[in-house]
């Protein structure tokens, strides 16, 4: 069937676009002979992961224990929980390990190291000041954390870093520079640990921008990335992808007009598109998303200019007149942040190149 009978708002996923995005990443990493550890937090879907990984049960990255549990139940056994570990989660983590999961945890402090006894752990490295982690040149703290892991029956398996600062990159050259800082910092930290007698065999790096624009992965053992599966307007805003590469959109219906204000109202508010305004910090602010027709073709200069809980407000970017958008017309909204928009929904309506709905794929949520 076409998307016309679907209730709105709902989430549309272009299968062929996902497959093309996955192939682009696979081709890029094949240049360096470094494997992908897919980050499943973007899609939170077994079917999407299977499509991206060609049906293999490859090692994955998760951001919640709910993801770890869901994917382990589906046969994924090598799981990296890439968020600082809270001690009260230990019972759930232990239950997974006892069932056969090879669950690797993340620490960036001595207190954190004490909490992960019995598990392999990676030390988080901060290579760009984006978020958490230890300085790659913080030798004393690196060795103290590794020593604490050893003393508490945990294994210092290596290091991990995430170049989140790449999301503010302004050119491919700048992203490549951030990628090199990410790589070299992680490799440097791992060498420090090895010189002190710790195994540190894993050097895990990753973000979608740096993975796609790196020039070197020497010393890296795996790359983590997730948003490349769908892409979004933030990625398009830093020229990591084109809008035609965005596989995800929200199907919505025109429900009214405010002609004197130049508005059309739709039934997709921030509960359907999310509150994420990531493009507001970029050179072109895309509001709450770009507007496409029902087939996914962009309508020039139309954005979701504002959003209430269940109402979206479509306007011309420069205050010009709107095209004819009668009540009942179907539109599609491209997301600012694919992870946040997908999180508002419980399923994907999967369409083929002809716009026919070929499947419905479940999406889970929660922690």
Residues 225 and 260 placed together within one structural domain of the fold: no
Residue 103 has what pLDDT? 98
Identify whether 240 is part of a domain: no
Residue 14 has what pLDDT? 98
User: What are the percentages of helix, strand and coil residues in the chain, rounded to 5?
Assistant: 35, 25, 40
Residues 124 and 187 placed together within one structural domain of the fold: yes
Residue after which a domain boundary falls, among 229, 257, 281: 229
Residue 193 has what pLDDT? 98
CA 337 to chain centre: 9
Identify whether 191 is part of a domain: yes
Residue 1 has what pLDDT? 81
Between CA 305 and CA 277 the distance in angstroms is: 11
Residues 61 and 176 placed together within one structural domain of the fold: yes
Residues 261 and 204 placed together within one structural domain of the fold: no
The rounded average pLDDT for each run of 10 residues, N- to C-terminus, in the chain (367 residues) is: 93 98 98 98 98 98 98 98 96 98 98 96 93 94 98 96 89 94 97 97 97 97 98 97 98 97 98 96 96 97 98 97 96 98 98 97 96
Residues 269 and 200 placed together within one structural domain of the fold: no
Q: Which of 64, 127, 71, 115 is nearest to 90 (CA)?
A: 115
Between CA 253 and CA 167 the distance in angstroms is: 31
Number of domains present in the structure of the chain: 2
Identify whether 22 is part of a domain: no
Between CA 276 and CA 281 the distance in angstroms is: 11
Residues 38/49, Cβ–Cβ less than 8 Å: yes
Residues 201 and 56 placed together within one structural domain of the fold: yes
How does strand 222-225 pair with strand 36-39? parallel
Residues 270 and 145 placed together within one structural domain of the fold: no
Q: Is 97 helix (H, G, I), strand (E, B) or coil?
A: helix
Residues, the chain, total? 367
Residues 212 and 267 placed together within one structural domain of the fold: no
Residues 192 and 259 placed together within one structural domain of the fold: no
Whole-number CA gyration radius for the chain: 22
N-term to C-term CA, the chain: 34
Record the tokens describing residue 325, joined without a space: 């958008």
Angle between the 172-195 and 139-151 helix axes, to the nearest 10 degrees?
60
Residues 91 and 134 placed together within one structural domain of the fold: yes
Residues 95 and 196 placed together within one structural domain of the fold: yes
Residue 170 has what pLDDT? 85
CATH number of the structural domain spanning residue 217: 3.20.20.10
Name the strand (E) or helix (H) holding 210. helix 208-213
Identify whether 8 is part of a domain: no
* Residue numbers of the domain that contains 36: 32-229
Residues 106 and 204 placed together within one structural domain of the fold: yes
Identify whether 276 is part of a domain: yes
Residue 278 has what pLDDT? 94
Between CA 46 and CA 44 the distance in angstroms is: 7
Identify whether 236 is part of a domain: no
Residue 151 has what pLDDT? 95
Identify whether 284 is part of a domain: yes
Identify whether 333 is part of a domain: yes
């Amino acid at each position: 069937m076409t998307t016309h009978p679907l209730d709105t708002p709902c989430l549309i996923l272009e299968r062929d676009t996902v497959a093309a995005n996955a192939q682009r990443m696979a081709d890029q990493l094949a240049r360096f002979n470094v494997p992908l550890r897919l980050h499943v937090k973007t899609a939170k879907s077994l079917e999407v992961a299977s499509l991206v990984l060609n049906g293999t049960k490859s090692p994955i990255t998760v951001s919640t224990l709910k993801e770890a549990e869901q994917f382990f139940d589906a046969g994924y056994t090598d799981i990296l929980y890439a968020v600082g570990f809270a001690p009260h989660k230990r019972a759930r983590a232990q239950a997974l390990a006892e069932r056969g999961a090879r669950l690797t945890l993340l620490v960036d402090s001595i207190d954190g190291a004490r909490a992960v006894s019995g598990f392999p752990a990676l030390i988080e490295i901060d290579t760009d000041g984006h978020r958490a982690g230890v300085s790659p040149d913080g030798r004393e703290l690196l060795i103290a954390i590794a020593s604490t892991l050893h003393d508490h029956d945990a294994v210092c398996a290596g290091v991990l870093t995430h170049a989140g600062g790449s999301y503010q990159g302004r050119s491919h050259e700048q992203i490549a520079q951030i990628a090199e800082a990410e790589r070299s910092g992680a490799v440097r930290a791992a060498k420090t640990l090895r010189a002190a007698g710790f195994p540190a065999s894993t050097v895990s790096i990753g973000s979608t921008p740096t993975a796609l624009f790196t020039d070197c992965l020497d010393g890296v053992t795996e790359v983590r990335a997730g948003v490349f599966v769908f892409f979004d307007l933030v990625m398009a805003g830093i020229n990591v992808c084109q809008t035609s590469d965005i596989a995800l959109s929200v199907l919505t219906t025109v429900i009214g007009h405010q002609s004197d204000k130049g508005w059309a109202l739709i039934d997709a508010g921030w509960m359907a598109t999310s509150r994420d305004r990531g493009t507001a910090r970029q050179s072109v602010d895309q509001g709450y998303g770009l507007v496409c027709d029902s087939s996914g073709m962009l309508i020039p200069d139309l954005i979701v200019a504002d959003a209430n809980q269940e109402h979206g407000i479509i306007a011309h970017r420069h205050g010009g007149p709107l095209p004819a958008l009668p009540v009942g017309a179907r539109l599609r909204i491209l997301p600012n942040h694919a992870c946040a928009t997908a999180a508002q929904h419980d399923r994907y309506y999967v369409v083929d190149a002809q716009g026919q709905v070929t499947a419905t794929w479940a999406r889970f949520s929660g922690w």
